[in-house]
């Protein structure tokens, strides 16, 4: 009987171990969704920028999912994206952000490129305590939103960098500025540049504004040219900049064109009007940043296209978010926010950065120039 009892005991122990192991494996292999909202303009004249954001977000999500998702609480979480078209409108952006939070129950929102749209999304995310990471929105007004983070530098930073570059590399020539009075981005960047440039002896000889619907700028350009400006600073979006440059050249302006990070080199690099112009940049192909070349090669392999600056920034927004979720070991929005604030610096393809306590990373400013139909790095202004 003792022998029989011993055999039965061994069998029961073995069965119990199998059952427990099976339960453990089942728990480990259980899958859950990690819901991420993506706000991007995928219609209208700016649709291409929105497509860049969506493409990069999908690339990052696919990468995480193929690596097994994000694990916490013994559960694998696979990323599910919820793209939403902002239409390039702050009103629509606010509505889709609210829908993503209330209906789709997203843990975080990525995207919202551009200062006006970003501020609208930030307002909603602040109300619901949901983290928002924008790849690029320079307005310093975003800093006041606790739940908002950005991968790019601020307007204050790039304004100071441009002023420094103009003094040292462009012989402190007199500058004329044409900016959009109704744009938080354009008006801010124009103001920051003017203050920093004049503070150290530079001269802003003309400071002209226009409104959003304007397509003719001859009156402002006439005053700028008559002022003796040798540099025309256009902190405006690419569509407006192309009109303004054409009209300036037609009126006889032969000086240097200069812009901010809203210039899209895809549209401008082969436009002869922009030869030898300068603008602020965040990332270009070939930068000696650890992991950047690998990202470029894999992105091209997976998507069939070279990554753009906006795609690199969006990729860093997504991957830094995944890092925060791993640190938080939670998909709860507040936990993700806290991790974004407290986690160590993220080593991204656009550089190493820390979101700090205010969501604004300290990043260096690249000054790019258009030469012979190609983009080259002219200078790097170190801000750290």
How distant, in Å, are the alpha carbons of 14, 45, 58, 95, 114 from that of 184? Answer: 69, 20, 29, 20, 9
Q: State mean pLDDT over 273-286.
A: 96
**Residue 28 pLDDT level (bands cut at 50, 70, 90):** very low
107 pLDDT more than 90: yes
* Local structure of 274: helix, strand or coil: helix
Class of domain 156-281+367-381: alpha beta
Is the model's pLDDT at 358 over the cut of 80? yes
Instruction: Please give the average per-residue pLDDT across 295-324, as a whole number.
Output: 97
Q: In the predicted model, what is the mean pLDDT of residues 176-191?
A: 97
CATH topology of 29-153+287-353 equal to that of 156-281+367-381? yes
pLDDT reported for residue 10: 52
Phi, psi of 262 (to 5 degrees): -80, -10
CATH class given for the domain over 29-153+287-353: alpha beta
Give the pLDDT confidence score for residue 30 in this predicted structure.
Answer: 62
**79 pLDDT tier (thresholds 50, 70, 90):** very high
Q: What is the pLDDT of residues 215-237, one digit of tens each?
A: 999 999 999 999 999 999 999 99
Identify which has the larger pLDDT, 139 or 23: 139
On the question of pLDDT at 242 being above 60, the answer is yes
Mean local confidence (pLDDT), 124-131: 99
pLDDT at 45: 80
Q: Which two tokens stand for residue 40?
A: 């991007």
Q: How far apart are CA 138 and CA 265, in angstroms?
A: 18
Query: What is the overall mean pLDDT for the chain?
Result: 92
User: CA distances (Å), 45 to each of 87, 240, 313, in order?
Assistant: 9, 12, 21
**CB proximity list for 116: less than 8 A, separation 6 or greater:** 90, 183, 184, 185
Residue bearing the bigger pLDDT, 163 or 88: 163
Look at residues 61, 38, 177 and name the one whose alpha carbon lies nearest to residue 117.
Answer: 38
Distances (CA, A) of 82 to 96, 265, 376, 378: 10, 28, 36, 38
Give the C-alpha separation, 166 to 322, whole Å: 38
- Nearest 5°: CA angle at 118, between 116 and 121? 115
The reported pLDDT for the residue numbered 44 is 86
Per-residue model confidence (pLDDT) at position 55? 98
d(CA 383, CA 158): 10
Whether residue 24 has pLDDT greater than 80 = no
Say whether pLDDT at 21 is over 70: no
| pLDDT at site 5 | 52
| Closest to 111 in 3D by CA, of 154, 79, 78, 148 | 148
Residue 351 bridge partners (DSSP): 348
Domain borders along the chain are 29-153+287-353, 156-281+367-381
Task: Give the torsion through C-alpha atoms of 382, 316, 310, 143, to 10 deg.
Answer: -70
Q: In what order do the strands lie in the sheet with 231-234?
A: 204-210, 175-180, 231-234, 256-259, 278-281, 365-371, 374-381
């Amino acid at each position: 009987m003792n022998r029989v009892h011993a055999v039965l005991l061994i069998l029961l122990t073995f069965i119990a171990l199998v059952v427990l192991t099976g339960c453990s494996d089942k728990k480990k292999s259980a899958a859950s969704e990690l819901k991420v909202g993506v706000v991007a303009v995928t219609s209208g004249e700016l649709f291409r920028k929105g497509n860049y954001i969506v493409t990069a977000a999908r690339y990052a999500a696919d990468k995480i999912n193929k690596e097994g998702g994000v694990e916490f609480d013994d559960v694998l979480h696979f990323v599910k994206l919820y793209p939403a078209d902002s239409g390039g409108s702050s009103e629509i952006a606010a509505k889709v952000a609210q829908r993503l939070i209330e209906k789709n129950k997203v843990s975080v929102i990525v995207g919202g490129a551009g200062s006006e749209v970003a501020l609208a999304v930030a307002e909603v995310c602040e109300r619901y305590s949901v983290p928002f990471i924008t790849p690029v929105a320079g307005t310093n007004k975003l800093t006041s939103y606790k739940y908002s983070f950005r991968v790019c530098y601020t307007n204050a930073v790039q304004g100071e960098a441009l002023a420094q570059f103009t003094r040292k590399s462009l012989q402190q020539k007199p500058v004329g500025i044409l900016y959009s009075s109704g744009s938080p981005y354009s008006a801010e960047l124009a103001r920051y540049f003017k203050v920093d440039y004049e503070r150290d002896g530079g001269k802003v000889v003309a400071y002209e504004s226009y409104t959003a619907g304007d397509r003719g700028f001859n009156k402002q350009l006439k005053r700028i040219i008559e002022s003796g400006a040798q540099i025309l600073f256009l902190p405006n979006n690419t569509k407006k900049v192309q009109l303004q440059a054409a009209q300036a050249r037609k009126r006889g302006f032969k000086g240097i064109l200069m812009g901010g990070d809203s210039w899209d080199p895809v549209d401008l690099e082969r436009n002869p009007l922009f030869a030898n112009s300068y603008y602020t940049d965040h990332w270009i192909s070939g930068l000696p940043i650890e992991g950047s070349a690998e990202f470029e090669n894999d992105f091209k392999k997976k998507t069939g296209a070279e990554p753009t600056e906006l795609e690199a920034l969006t990729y860093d927004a997504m991957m830094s978010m995944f890092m925060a979720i791993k640190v938080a070991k939670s998909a709860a929005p507040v936990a993700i926010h806290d991790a974004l604030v407290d986690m160590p610096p993220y080593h991204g393809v656009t550089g190493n950065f820390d979101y700090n306590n205010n969501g604004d990373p300290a990043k260096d400013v690249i000054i790019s120039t258009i030469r012979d139909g190609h983009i080259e790095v002219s200078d790097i202004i170190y801000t750290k």
